[in-house]
Chain A
């Protein structure tokens, strides 16, 4: 019974969702909305579980003075500060006429000045910093990728150089000036070559991957629906 009930629930829900995709009637659309709502509600409760897990792991590290425990302490402090400012601070509004903080039934976080300041000046800044690092990682990855070890790697290198130069305004300008105009457009512009590479070979390869992924996802869905794979029961089948 412990194995059959979750299986029946999963199969019934799966079939329902599959059918509703093709049935646009109002009842089916409502059903999908309601199911999505349930998922969001469960997700909200799960967030409490997640935060509790993170705090527990961090607290144990601090308590035991494990390696790199100051990082764990920073996590706890960050959580406490943002939580306090976001939740408790949300109940006070700065009244500009009296210059005092007044109690309110709760305001949106974006109207909470302290929370907003911390979010935009601390979190967003650090987030952008990590994102910016991507440029350096790209440079190092490109250096490793662009080595013509064999024919296919050489083709990759050639295509990459063309696209890079085609996207750079200066090289595209000189290509046009030295090659395209003197030959009266007998030679394609660098931009056109770049577009051709991106539109045809690149799109064809991408679609082939998407095509395979779609069918593989369908096969995975069938395996789950008929119970050959039961990851929701932390197992892989019978």
Chain B
């Protein structure tokens, strides 16, 4: 690894921290919400107080009041119903700060069975083929669901600055010239939960974005500055950076509700590290370290063996064949954008192919699907022709944007293959459903075809229709293989050793988890499973 590489990595880390701090500070607080109270830790959530309970008492809803007011409750308060107990809040770890977990003890009047932690797979118990045990389980599930539907909990939230909980959205102007109003679309209303519920994850927080990004056209006229200010003031209520929140949870049954269990002055926090992805971070650090280590070792000049890859050995032969036949070669960089790794790998391979083509005096056609990729590929081919000492042979009009649509591209490239009678086709990058159309057309035209792709779902089609296929990691290793540069080959070695270590760890963990669960140490077995568990989002 070059010294400048290490320097840049260090600079990168420093700038990361600087940009993160800048971004955190850049969200300008609004004048309307600048006076938000000081941060109160979620752990300091207080127990329910009589004051908070009495503050929310209000007249029961009546049928004679058609549009319910924002503070008019949906249930009649009945002190004889027991409220839920021990309401506590907990910050959801590993998130941006947009979720808060509320947990409570069930009301003594809540006789419904607890909600299952995971969604149940439901099957109709009336099905005749259902085994007896499963039918009994399904019937019990139905009875439990019915019991849960007869009672429930209602969770309300307000900012600490507000005096009353709102049950219904306020009316806000639509922005139309006729002065019409609509229900506040940013209203985070009361959440009604079935009986047996013990916790609720409030994810209705929304972060304000800089002025302008959140503008929306609600009428034919552009919004005035005043409209935008009102909109932001309204939305700021849901931004946890500028508010703390009070919650109350009430038990409900038959249109009645208990006194509340409440917490005050809580808010979610943004986290600096996502603990659910710690396993990925460890693997990346371990593998990255090994790869860097082998790159450094390779600088010593020690010969490294890399197994022969037929597809890459055939590159020169394919270009040579095209030269002998006096026909052009076609290169497709697939459907990835310019930032995709598969496209970057395609650029590296194209550089090599274009250089060989330039040396042989063979024309290369590169139809592109993305204008940015086209610009990058033009530079790659131009440099290859210059390196080969044939800059005068470079033709920019042979590398062009064909279309941005999938099947239009497939039709266009298929037409090119047939009309130009290309002798060799190279498909390098990400491909989807069009892969077989391209590959079969090339095969029917008698072209030698070499494919490199990370799209494993398309591999069967390519293997069937093409002469050589570089599968996934072979494709990414193509640049190192073709250049024979020791440091690049070193990275392949590092990659292989990482793979070996992870594979051994996986097999060992599977065996260990099986043995431990057999021995009754279920906790340890679950921990081993968690080591390899990926949580999306």
Q: Which residues of A contact B (CB under 8 A)?
A: 4, 7-8, 11-12, 14-16, 18-31, 34, 39, 42-43, 46-51, 53-54, 56-57, 60, 67-68, 71, 105, 123, 126-127, 130-131, 133-134, 137-138, 140-142, 144-145, 206, 209-213, 215-229, 231-232, 234-238
Contact = CB atoms under 8 A, between A and B. Distances in A.
B464 to A, nearest CB: 4
Interface residues of B, number: 109
Most buried by B among A7, A49, A68, A236: A236
Given A25-B271, A127-B408, A14 B12 contact: yes
Most buried by A among B15, B292, B471: B15
Contact of B376 (A133, A218, A232): A232
A236 B348 contact: yes
A210 B473 CA distance: 9
Interface majority SS on B: helix, strand, loop or mixed? helix
A227 B348 CA distance: 13
B351 A235 contact: yes
Given A25-B96, A28-B23, A29-B96, A53 B401 contact: yes
A119 B15 CA distance: 47
Interface in B357-397: 368, 370-372, 374-376, 379-380, 382-383, 397
Contacts of B270: 24-26
A189 to B, nearest CB: 12
Contact of B287 (A141, A210, A215): A215
A15 B473 contact: no
B512 interface: no
Interface string B484-507: 010110011011001100110000
Given A25-B96, A215-B473, A31 B20 contact: yes
Contacts of B187: none
Contact of B24 (A27, A53, A216): A27
9 contacts: A11-B8, A27-B21, A43-B370, A46-B375, A130-B437, A209-B459, A222-B292, A226-B5, A229-B344
A22 B407 CA distance: 37
B107 interface: no
A27 B20 contact: yes
B400 A209 contact: no
B77 interface: no
A212 B499 contact: yes
A15 B16 contact: yes
B351 to A, nearest CB: 6
B39 to A, nearest CB: 14
B405 A127 contact: yes
Most buried by B among A42, A48, A50, A232: A50
B19 interface: yes
A226 B295 contact: yes
B464 A141 contact: yes
A215 B284 CA distance: 9
A213 B473 contact: yes
Interface stretch (B161-169, B172-180, B250-258, B273-281): B273-281
Given A213-B476, A218-B291, 12 more contacts: A20-B16, A25-B20, A25-B270, A26-B97, A27-B21, A30-B26, A53-B371, A141-B464, A219-B476, A222-B291, A228-B491, A231-B347
Contacts of A51: 371, 401
B376 A231 contact: yes
B477 A127 contact: no
Interface in B268-326: 270-274, 277, 280-281, 284, 287-288, 291-292, 295
A228 B487 contact: yes
B440 interface: yes
A3 to B, nearest CB: 10
A19 B16 CA distance: 7
A7 B380 CA distance: 16
A234 B383 contact: yes
